[in-house]
Amino acid sequence: MSQTLSAANIAAYHEYGYVIVRRLFDVEEITLLHRAAKEDHELDKRSFGRADGEGGTVRLSLWNHPGDGIYGMFARCERMVRSCEKLLGGEVYHYHSKMIMKDPFVGGAWTWHQDYGYWYQNGILQPLLTSVSVAVDRATRENGCLQVILGSHHCGRIDHILSGEQAGADRERVEQILKRMPLVYCEMEPGDAIFFHPNLLHRSDQNTSDKPRWSMICCYNAARNDPYKDSHHPRYTPLHVVPDTAIKQVGVKRFSDDTSDVSWLENTKDRSAKILSNKPQAQV
C-alpha cells in the first residue's frame, strides 16, 4: 500500500502550515534521484540564477509538466499525489516542479515569501495548492535549509515587493509576524519531504558551507481551482498517476534521456519585467 499522509500529518499541516515526513523515499529511490540530478546535463543547461540581494545567487531549473523520467516518477507517484489530494480535498494536477541547486559556498538565499504571493497573479482564485520539497542532499542550518514561520499561513496572503531579483513579502509585516510566531529550521535527510501550504512564510539562508543542498520541489493545484486565465504555469491538465514502484523501474532516466515535452520555464527578460512591475511570478 502507498505511504500517504496520516490523519495526524494532515492535522499538523492545516494547523502549522507544513508537515515533514521522514524517509518518504527510501535510500534506493533518493539515490536514483540524486545520481540523475547531479549527472543531468540538460538539467544543468536549463538552470538559471537569481540574485538574492545579499551578494549571492540561487540556481534553479523549472519545468511545467512531469514527463516520463525519474523526476516525473517522483512527481506522479501515488504517495505524492494521493497525499496532496488528501491535503486539498480532491483531484490535483501538476502545477510545476523545480530543482533548487544550492552549491557549496555560492548558493544564494531566498527572501521571506509565500508561494501564493506569486501564484495569485496567475489567475488562481484560492490558495488550494501545496508544495512538496524532497531533500536530495542533507539539509542543515549550515547549508541553507528551509526556514518557516510556524502557523503563518493563517495570516492570509501578504503583499510582495522586489528585493534583488526576488520578490519578497512585506518586511514590516514579516517582522511583526516573527514577534508572535516561532521560526523553525527544517533540517532534513535525503529522502525526507516537507509538504507546505502556499501561504506559509518561508525562506532560506545562503549556503556558506562546503556541502551542497539540492532539493526538488513539486507543486500541485486542486483541479477545481483551475486558473481563470493563461500564465507561464499550466491550467488544469489531467495527471497520470503511477504506482510507487515506477521510481525504481524507471531508474536513472534523466531529462537528457527523456523525450517528453516538460515545457521548461526560462529566465526571460519578460519575466523579469513582470517582477519589476510588481506582478511577481513563482519562486521558492
CATH number at residue 104: 2.60.120.620
For residues 129 and 116, the answer to whether their CB atoms sit within 8 Å is yes
Residue 20 lies in a domain: yes
Q: What is the CA radius of gyration of the chain?
A: 17
Neighbours of 45 (CB within 10 A): 11
Q: What is the pTM of this model?
A: 0.92
pLDDT band at 56 (very low <50, low <70, confident <90, very high): confident
Question: What 3-state class would DSSP assign to 25?
Answer: coil
Reply yes or no on whether the pLDDT at 53 is more than 80. no
User: Tell me, what's the pLDDT at 46?
Assistant: 95
Higher per-residue pLDDT: 245 or 161: 245
Reply yes or no on whether the pLDDT at 203 is more than 80. yes
Residue 283 lies in a domain: no
Residue 281 lies in a domain: no
Question: What 3-state class would DSSP assign to 40?
Answer: coil
What digits encode the pLDDT tens for the residues 206-217? 999 999 999 999
Residue 1 lies in a domain: no
Short-list 163, 107, 165, CA closest to 140: 107
Q: Which DSSP state fits 177?
A: H
Q: Which grid coordinates belong to 231?
A: 500564465
User: Tell me, what's the pLDDT at 108?
Assistant: 80
User: Tell me, what's the pLDDT at 242?
Assistant: 98
What digits encode the pLDDT tens for the residues 79-128? 999 999 999 999 999 999 999 999 998 778 888 999 999 999 999 999 99
Residue 226 lies in a domain: yes
Q: CA triplet 177, 53, 171: central angle to 5 degrees?
A: 20
User: Tell me, what's the pLDDT at 277?
Assistant: 42
pLDDT band at 50 (very low <50, low <70, confident <90, very high): confident
Mean pLDDT value across the chain:
91
Residue 2 lies in a domain: no
Residue 247 lies in a domain: yes
Q: Which domain holds residue 231?
A: 7-276
**Neighbouring residues of 184: CB distance < 8 A, sequence distance ≥ 6:** 147, 148, 149, 150
Higher per-residue pLDDT: 153 or 270: 153
* Residue position matching grid coordinates 534523466: 254
Residue 146 lies in a domain: yes
Reply yes or no on whether the pLDDT at 264 is more than 80. yes
Number of domain units in the chain: 1
Rounded to an integer, the average pLDDT of 149-158 is: 98
